[in-house]
Amino acid sequence: MKNKLILIDPFEQTVSFVESDGKIESLKALMKCDLIDVVSVGVDNVMVLDDNGLLKENRYFTLMGQPYAGRAVIMTEDKDQNMIDSDLDLDRVKERITWHPEGFKVEPKMQFVPLP
């Protein structure tokens, strides 16, 4: 079964609905990446990101004050964490995105916090 997701493409500077079965391999193909990470972007929505996005030449966008590298997919989940058709308004998502120019770069950083 395919569901309606939102694809954010900073290379084309587009935000569009796409269909996917939501399987990891399908998402990686949509995003043109090898590893993924998932972050929450609302109560029932998650954004799937390129986990190595900061480590390679990429285009960037900012959503809700946070810069991200590479393509991303926003998915909506039901109460059982099953993927369902996106309930987000595409125009509202577009309004919240800032595209960064070619050459923009965020340096990855890692912080180790010792446990008490």
What's the rounded Cα separation, in Å, for the pair 75 and 45?
6
pLDDT of amino acid 68: 95
Q: Read off the pLDDT band of 72 (50, 70, 90).
A: very high
pLDDT of amino acid 33: 95
- Kindly state the helix (H) or strand (E) to which residue 88 belongs, with its residue range: none
Q: What is the mean pLDDT of residues 41-68?
A: 92
Q: What is the mean pLDDT of residues 34-59?
A: 91
- Rounded alpha-carbon distances, angstroms, from residue 29 to 22, 23, 35: 11, 10, 11
pLDDT above 90: residue 111: no
pTM, two decimal places = 0.88
pLDDT of amino acid 51: 93
List the end-to-end C-alpha distance of the chain, in Å, as a whole number: 47
- Kindly state the helix (H) or strand (E) to which residue 31 belongs, with its residue range: helix 24-31
**Nearest Cα to 29, choosing from 39, 38, 18?**
18
pLDDT above 80: residue 60: yes
Q: What is the mean pLDDT of residues 16-21?
A: 93
> Left (φ > 0), alpha (ψ -120 to 50) or beta: where does 65 sit?
left
